Amino acid sequence: MRNIIKNKSVVADDWTVLRLAEEQAPDAVAVPAGKVVVPLAVWQAQRAALEGRAELGVWIASSERPEELKEDLARFALIAVDFPKFADGRGYSIAYNLRARLGYTGELRAIGDVLRDQLFYMQRVGFDAFAVREDKNIHDALKGLTDFSEVYQTSWDQKSPLFRRVQRTGVSV
Amino acid sequence: MYRYDQYDHQIVKERVAQYADQVRRRLADELTEDEFRPLRLQNGLYYQRHAYMLRIAVPYGLLSSKQVRMFAHIAREHDRGYGHFTTRQNIQFNWIKVEETPEILGKLASVEMHAIQTSGNCVRNITSDQFAGVARDELVDPRPWCEILRQWSTFHPEFAYLPRKFKIAINGAEEDRAAIAVHDIGLSIVKNAQGEIGFRVLVGGGMGRTPILGSEIRAFLPWQHMMSYIEAILRVYNQYGRRDNMYKARIKILVKAVGVEEFARQVEEEWQDLKDGPSTLTEEELARMAAYFTAPAYETLPAADTAVDQLKADNKAFANWVKRNVKPHKVPGYAAVVLSLKKTGVPPGDVTDAQLDFAADLADRYSFGELRVTHEQNLVLADVKQSDLIALWEEIKKQGLATPNIGLLTDMICCPGGDFCALANAKSIPIAADIAERFDNLDFQHDIGEIELNISGCINSCGHHHVGHIGILGVDKDGSEWYQVSIGGAQGNQSAIGKIIGPSFSAHQMPEVIDRLLQVYLRERIENERFLDTVRRIGVAPFKDFVYATPITIEHPAGEDAYA
């Protein structure tokens, strides 16, 4: 069990993320029992065996396309997006597309190099769960969700830009 | 100019608090340097050769006198008494202590400024025409559009960790003074046959080690769609731009790899989902922004000033200054004045705290309290009465800001180079200094006429050498500094990438190389032809032949040789 941030709180979490070692093949790796988040490639390779599982999650690498899951979104208890390095920003567009294009409404979790100073942006594009890197203080990281109280532009969390939402003063004479 | 409302103030204030806490955590070792680096870079803080450098955003180059006085204060209190204007219309300070940066950002916030996204792999400061709003050839004032994009791009959650930095420039005049062809996105404001406003969209321009001019992906984008269309471009880039090699990570490489037609198709496809969505700009919002950039209270004045005309006839120095540094204005009786930051002996773009205070005073007294920064690293007083030109000239001469060299040989664009920058292969400022000294004679410079000499200390091309009529690039060969020379580059409507003339030179040879290039020009030019026109007409070969015809011997040690 580890702690994650979910719906803006620190909660205990019992999911296991399956990561393939270099020599492991997606079709051959043994998926342990219980609540497991499998790599997209494992889901695709072992679909028949995994389909019956009640509690299954899948994770998408930053180099993979969320459209691959288009027909299957409802099957998963959670979808995770991996940040191999926090500076790899592809996961933001993956999350946005999962939400906005593919209509995914379940738990969307950021995994990998997930750090406090990126959480504000991550929640904006649609993440609602954050497996903060385990060497970091997760209670400290929680503060990252509230760095800003207002935003200019639209994203998943805010469908209306500031200029449509509020009466901005404009030129004062 | 634009003024912050409560929302802008709130967002910038929260940024200062966020950043101050990041610095605190770094100093407490809660953040590693690797974790802190991208955070400080997105706040404009670089580690240089000797100290931290802080780059402050000057949105589309526009400044109030109050802001300029704050720069003077920062130069005095937190730096060594000077600052440096950059080729992206920003200012940077080279001797900053990281511990003081939160305090500096707090001070900047008090004058509606920040350092947000002045570095890092995100959307950078939007740049534009330094004569926006006053140029005679302007179709549409680009500043409201720049401000709309500034706000849209500030803390855009999806595009803060792009494959590489992302630069956008907007031009609204017939002549492109914003170098839009060498930006990741270059927007030209145009009108269609119905008189409606829209944008011609160029994408994938850039300099660096793969200089490419931007390609048109849309001839006319109706103005309402500016934000959603740029969002589409950035989403395609964020997903497909290369991340395995930082030198191949700019959008230009992606556009080249997939082809411009395919890239345009992907953007259009992406855009179909966004088009007419909530990001669509409204008439009300455009009007609100435009209201910040209305004309100041101009007086009704005669088109010309007789005293100015008289002094031009009587005083050659004044005439030269008017010819080079005073630019036409759309309102009769007014002019835009360029304050040259290219005095021989001073690194291009550098200003002292005293000069900053002085420039702020000039802005208050002569130009409605505003100043602009040019990407050629000079300052502009955009709204000067012609009847004030003589008094202004007398004042700025004393402060070293009246060198009549705008557009001439010594009005060089030059990056900070190896004296400051950790990326540089070679020094650039001493090369600029040697060339300026060699050709200090103003009569000679005026005879040579318009020429753009640009110097970069490395292939990152901050000194825009690729688009210099003469471009100089510092290169490293076996651990020593060498300089590669290209000619025929150009910015603006006829943008071109310069061609390298041949093997590189050592620092001390550079003034002679420039001299030889100019000799060929003087020999070959036909009436009223600029250096660039001659290069275009006769090609690189005659220049190359003459420059390399005989060995270039050392006249006096310069650059590295001076320390050998």
| Distance in angstroms (rounded) separating the CA atoms of residues A69 and A61 | 13
> Is residue B174 in a domain?
yes
How far A30 CA sits from the closest chain B CA (Å)? 31
| Distance in angstroms (rounded) separating the CA atoms of residues B523 and B546 | 11
Calculate mean pLDDT across residues B321-332.
97
Q: Which of A90, A96, A164 sits opposite B278 (nearest CB)?
A: A164
Residue B560 has pLDDT above 70, yes or no: no
Q: Which residues contact B58 (CB under 8 A, 6 or more apart)?
A: B89, B90, B91, B113, B125, B373
Q: Is B155 on the interface with A (CB under 8 A)?
A: yes
- Same-domain check for residues B284 and B140: yes
CATH number at residue B52: 3.90.480.20
How far A52 CA sits from the closest chain B CA (Å)? 32
Using a CB cutoff of 8 Å and minimum separation of 24, what contacts does B186-191 make?
Answer: B186/B214, B187/B145, B187/B226, B189/B139, B189/B140, B189/B142, B189/B145, B190/B139, B190/B220, B191/B139, B191/B140
How far B53 CA sits from the closest chain A CA (Å)? 22
- Same-domain check for residues B151 and B265: yes
What is the domain extent for residue B372? 306-398
Q: Where are the alpha helices (DSSP H) in B196-278?
A: 226-240, 251-258, 260-272
User: Which residues on B lie below 8 Å from A124 (Cβ)?
Assistant: 157-158
User: Which residues on B lie below 8 Å from A122 (Cβ)?
Assistant: 157
Each residue's pLDDT tens digit, B416-431 = 898 888 888 999 999 9
- Using an 8 Å Cβ cutoff, are B418 and B436 in contact? no
Nearest CA in chain A to B30: A136
Q: What is the count of structural domains for chain B? A: 4
Residue B372 has pLDDT above 60, yes or no: yes
User: Which residues on B lie below 8 Å from A67 (Cβ)?
Assistant: none
- In the stretch 96-135 of chain A, residues with CB closer than 8 A to chain B read 96, 100-101, 115, 117-118, 120-122, 124-125
User: Which residues on A lie below 8 Å from B277 (Cβ)?
Assistant: 154
Say what the ipTM of the complex is: 0.97
Residue B520 has pLDDT above 80, yes or no: yes
Residue B51: band (very low, low, confident or very high) from pLDDT cuts 50, 70, 90: confident
Give the range among B37-51, B326-340, B400-414 with minimum mean pLDDT.
Answer: B37-51
- Same-domain check for residues B33 and B167: no
- The pLDDT of residue B268 is 98
- The pLDDT of residue B558 is 52
Global pTM reads: 0.95
- Using an 8 Å Cβ cutoff, are B205 and B182 in contact? yes
- Same-domain check for residues B392 and B417: no
B337, B365, B398 — which closes off a domain?
Answer: B398
- The pLDDT of residue B411 is 95
Q: Is B519 on the interface with A (CB under 8 A)?
A: no
Q: Which of B14, B159, B278 sits opposite A161 (nearest CB)?
A: B278
B234, B262, B292 — which closes off a domain?
Answer: B292
| Distance in angstroms (rounded) separating the CA atoms of residues B562 and B564 | 6
> Is residue B470 in a domain?
yes
- Same-domain check for residues B192 and B163: yes
How many Cα atoms occupy the beta-carbon half-sphere of A35 within 13 Å? 8
Residue B559 has pLDDT above 90, yes or no: no
> Is residue A173 in a domain?
no
CB atoms under 10 Å from CB of B526, counted, come to 8
The rounded mean pLDDT for chain B is 95
The number of angstroms, rounded, from the C-alpha of B421 to the middle of its chain's C-alpha atoms is: 17
Nearest CA in chain B to A114: B35
B336, B363, B398 — which closes off a domain?
Answer: B398
Residue B563 has pLDDT above 50, yes or no: no
How far B224 CA sits from the closest chain A CA (Å)? 13
CA angle B99, B104, B108 (to 5 degrees): 160
Q: Is B156 on the interface with A (CB under 8 A)?
A: yes
- The pLDDT of residue A173 is 52
Residue B244 has pLDDT above 80, yes or no: yes
> Three-class SS of residue A151?
coil
Helix axes B143-153, B283-290, angle to 10 degrees: 110
Residue B506 has pLDDT above 60, yes or no: yes
The number of angstroms, rounded, from the C-alpha of B352 to the middle of its chain's C-alpha atoms is: 19
Q: How far is CA A34 from CA A14, A24, A46, A114, B110, in A?
A: 9, 20, 16, 24, 55
Give me the sign of the Cα torsion angle B157, B159, B165, B169.
negative
> Three-class SS of residue B2?
coil
| Distance in angstroms (rounded) separating the CA atoms of residues B112 and B11 | 11
Each residue's pLDDT tens digit, B94-141 = 999 999 999 999 999 999 999 999 999 999 999 999 999 999 999 999
> Is residue A170 in a domain?
no
| Distance in angstroms (rounded) separating the CA atoms of residues B372 and B393 | 18
Q: Is B160 on the interface with A (CB under 8 A)?
A: yes
| Distance in angstroms (rounded) separating the CA atoms of residues B550 and B513 | 11
- Same-domain check for residues B24 and B75: yes
What is the domain extent for residue A44? 2-165
- The pLDDT of residue A85 is 96
Cβ contact B158–A93 (<8 Å): yes
User: Which residues on B lie below 8 Å from A168 (Cβ)?
Assistant: 5, 7, 288
What b/e sequence results for A106-115 when a residue is b if at least 16 CB atoms lie within 10 Å of its CB, and e otherwise?
A: ebbbbbbbbb
Question: What are the beta bridge partners of residue B216?
Answer: B202
| Distance in angstroms (rounded) separating the CA atoms of residues B436 and B510 | 11
Q: Which of A101, A147, A172 sits opposite B18 (nearest CB)?
A: A147
How far A154 CA sits from the closest chain B CA (Å)? 7
Interface test with B, best of A148, A158, A172 (most B CBs within 10 A): A148
| Distance in angstroms (rounded) separating the CA atoms of residues B241 and B235 | 10
- Same-domain check for residues B150 and B237: yes
Cβ contact B278–A155 (<8 Å): no
Residue B498: band (very low, low, confident or very high) from pLDDT cuts 50, 70, 90: very high
- Using an 8 Å Cβ cutoff, are A46 and A31 in contact? yes
> Is residue A171 in a domain?
no
Each residue's pLDDT tens digit, A100-136 = 999 999 999 999 999 999 999 999 999 999 999 999 9
User: Which residues on A lie below 8 Å from B14 (Cβ)?
Assistant: 147-149
Q: Are strands B185-191 and B197-203 parallel, antiparallel or unpaired?
A: antiparallel
> Is residue B271 in a domain?
yes
| Distance in angstroms (rounded) separating the CA atoms of residues B493 and B484 | 25
Q: Which of B22, B30, B157 sits opposite A124 (nearest CB)?
A: B157
- Same-domain check for residues B500 and B374: no
How far B143 CA sits from the closest chain A CA (Å)? 15
Cβ contact B282–A87 (<8 Å): no
Residue B88 has pLDDT above 60, yes or no: yes
- Using an 8 Å Cβ cutoff, are B380 and B372 in contact? yes
- Same-domain check for residues B189 and B276: yes
Cβ contact B159–A89 (<8 Å): yes
CATH number at residue A49: 3.40.50
- In the stretch 57-96 of chain A, residues with CB closer than 8 A to chain B read 86-90, 92-94, 96
Q: Which of A149, A155, A171 sits opposite B158 (nearest CB)?
A: A155
Nearest CA in chain A to B151: A152
What b/e sequence results for A6-26 when a residue is b if at least 16 CB atoms lie within 10 Å of its CB, and e otherwise?
A: beeeeeebebbbbeeeeeeee
User: Which residues on B lie below 8 Å from A99 (Cβ)?
Assistant: none
Q: Is B235 on the interface with A (CB under 8 A)?
A: yes
Interface test with A, best of B32, B126, B145, B156 (most A CBs within 10 A): B156
Q: What is the count of structural domains for chain A? A: 1
Residue B373 has pLDDT above 60, yes or no: yes
> Is residue B252 in a domain?
yes
- The pLDDT of residue B47 is 86
Q: What is the DSSP string of B382-426?
A: EEEEGGGHHHHHHHHHHTT---S-TTSTTS-EE--GGGT-SS-SS
Q: Is B152 on the interface with A (CB under 8 A)?
A: yes
Q: Which residues contact B303 (CB under 8 A, 6 or more apart)?
A: B332, B333
> Is residue B123 in a domain?
no
- Same-domain check for residues B183 and B332: no
Cβ contact B14–A90 (<8 Å): no
- Using an 8 Å Cβ cutoff, are B234 and B166 in contact? yes
Each residue's pLDDT tens digit, A11-48 = 999 999 999 998 999 999 999 999 999 999 999 999 99
Cβ contact A153–B279 (<8 Å): yes
- Same-domain check for residues B484 and B526: yes
| Distance in angstroms (rounded) separating the CA atoms of residues B542 and B527 | 19
Dmax over CA atoms of chain A, in Å, equals 72
- Same-domain check for residues B487 and B552: yes
DSSP B142: -
Q: Is B43 on the interface with A (CB under 8 A)?
A: no
Looking up tokens 């040259």, which residue turns up?
B340
How far A107 CA sits from the closest chain B CA (Å)? 19
